[in-house]
Amino acid sequence: MDESGNATYVANGHANGVQTEEKETHNNEARLRELRESLGKADGDPLRMVGVGAGAWGSVFIAMLQDTYGAFRDDIQLRLWRRGGKEVDRQTAEHLFEVINSREDVLRRLIRKCAYLKYVEGRLGERILYADEILRDGFCVNMIDTPLCPVKVVTNLQEAVWDADIVVAGLPSTEIRRVFKDIGRYWRERRTMPIIISLAKGVETALDPHPHIITPTQMIVDMTGVPSENVLYLGGPNIASEVYNKEYANARICGSEKWRKPLAKFLRQPHFIVWDNPDIVTHEVMGGLKNVYAIGAGMVGALTNESATSKAVYFSHSTSEMIYITRLLAENPGPLAGPLLADTYVTLLKGRNAWYGGKLAKGEITIETGDTFSGKGTIQGISAVEAFHELLRQPSLSVMHPELGKPVRPIELCPILRALYKILIQKTAPITAIVEGYMSEYDPRHLVELEDAFIPQLLRREPQPKLTHTDSTQSV
C-alpha cells in the first residue's frame, strides 16, 4: 500500500477509535441518568456513592466506577473510606517506588501532581507513607502492582456515609457488624435509607437459641435498620487486578428486583458483564464456602506437584460438599452452575486463599504466622472453616447418611471440611491430611443427590435484636 493509503488507514483507524470512545461515553451517561431517575435524584443533586473498605476488590470496585463515571462530576460523586493511620512498611514502599518508575503514565501523573518526591522519600526512609495517603494516588496496599486511578479517600466514617445514596460494603465479613453498627448510628435521623451492595464473603455462626448462620446482608440489616430489599450481594467470578486491567470478567448482583436490575445495568461495562439474580442466599453462602475450599485447593496443588487429575478430583469432592451445605441452608437453592460455578472455580484456581494453602503446603509459611499478609490482606477462609465446622457439628442437628442409612451430624458428610478444621484450627493433623480428606471411598454424587437435606433453623431470615458481646458466635 502506498504512503497515501497508509495515511488514510491510520486516519480511519483513529476516527473509528474516537467514535467508539464517544459511543461508550454516551452509553455511560445514559446508564447514569437511568439510575439517577430510579433513585429520584433531582437536577443539581449528585448521586453520592461511597465504598466502605479499601481492600483489593473494594478499592478496584470504586476505582473502576471512577474511571467510568468520574467525568460526570455534576451527576455523581464517588469516594472511598478506609481507616487512617496504617503505615506502609519499608519493603512495600520500596516495591511501590519500583512500580511507579516502571510505568511512564503513572510517573508522569505523580510528577504533575508534585507527589513523586514523597515516594522517593518514603523509599529512602525519610518519610512514612500511609495507606490512605497512597490510595489517593491510586495505590492499594493489597495490590501494589496494579496502579489504579486516583480516588477521593476519606478516613472519617461519618463523613463518608452520612449522605450516601449507595454504599458498597467492601469489608471482610469479620468487620461488617462492627463497622455497620457505627454507620447505623449515623443514619438514625435519615428520612430515606440508602442502597447497600455487599461484596463480603462469609457468615456468622450463632448457637443460641439454636444453631444458625447470619449472612453479611443480614448483618447489615440488623446493624442499620435498612430495609432488606435495599441490601444486595455482588459476587464473581472475577479477580480484582484483572477487572481493573479490563480483562473479561463476570459478576452477579443478587437481591430484590426493585434494585438489582437497574444496578446491574449501571455496573455493566464492555469487559465487566453483570447479570442479576433473585437468589441472594445461595450466592452469599457459596461466597463464604468457596474460600474454605480454596485453601484446600492450594494445598492439594502443592502436595501433588500440580497434578491435573488430583486437582480435578478435589474440585469434584469440594463442590459436592459446597452443594450439600447450601442445601442444608436453603429450601430452594440455586444450582452450582454458570457464573456461580465459575466463581468457585476461579477462587480455587487463583486467589489469596488458594495462595495461602499452597504456601502452607510448601512450608514457606506456618499456621502460626496468622491470617493477614502484606500485599494479600486477610485470609478469610480460615475463620470460615471454624464457623462452618462449628455449625455442622452441633449434636442437635442430624441428617440421614446416604450409605450407612442412619442419622449422623451433618459434618460427618464433609471429609474435606473436617480435614481443614483439624489442620488449621485444631492443629492436630499434618497438611497431608487434606489429601486423605478427598480420597474418599464414597462417591460424592450422593451429596449432590440428597433431597431432604434442608434444615430450616440453620438460616435466619428475619432481623433479630442486635447481638451483644455475650452472644455465642463465630465470625467468618
Active site residues: 290
Name the phi and psi angles at 250, rounded to 5.
-125, 160
Closest residue by Cα to residue 385 from 349, 345, 429 = 429
Closest residue by Cα to residue 68 from 166, 136, 148 = 148
- 3-state SS track over the chain: CCHHHHHHHHHHHHHHHHHHHHHHHHHHHHHHHHHHHHHCCCCCCCEEEEEECCCHHHHHHHHHHHHHHCCCCCCEEEEEECCCCCECCHHHHHHHHHHHHHCHHHHHHHHHCCCHHHHHHHHHCCCCCEHHHHHCCCCCCCCCCCCCCCCCEECCHHHHHCCCCEEEECCCHHHHHHHHHHHHHHCCCCCCCCEEEECCCCCEEECCCCCEEECHHHHHHHHHCCCHHHEEEEECCCCHHHHHCCCCEEEEEECCHHHHHHHHHHHCECCEEEEEECCHHHHHHHHHHHHHHHHHHHHHHHHCCCCHHHHHHHHHHHHHHHHHHHHHHCCCCCCCCHHHHHHHHHHHHCCHHHHHHHHHHHCCCCHHHCCEECCCEECHHHHHHHHHHHHHCCCCCCEECCCCCCEECHHHHCHHHHHHHHHHHHCCCCCCHHHHHHCCCCCCHHHHHCCCCCCHHHECCCCCCCCCCCCCEEEC
Prior bond to 211 cis, omega within 30?
no
- The rounded distance, in Å, linking the Cα atoms of 379 and 296 is 13
C-alpha 164: how far from chain center: 21
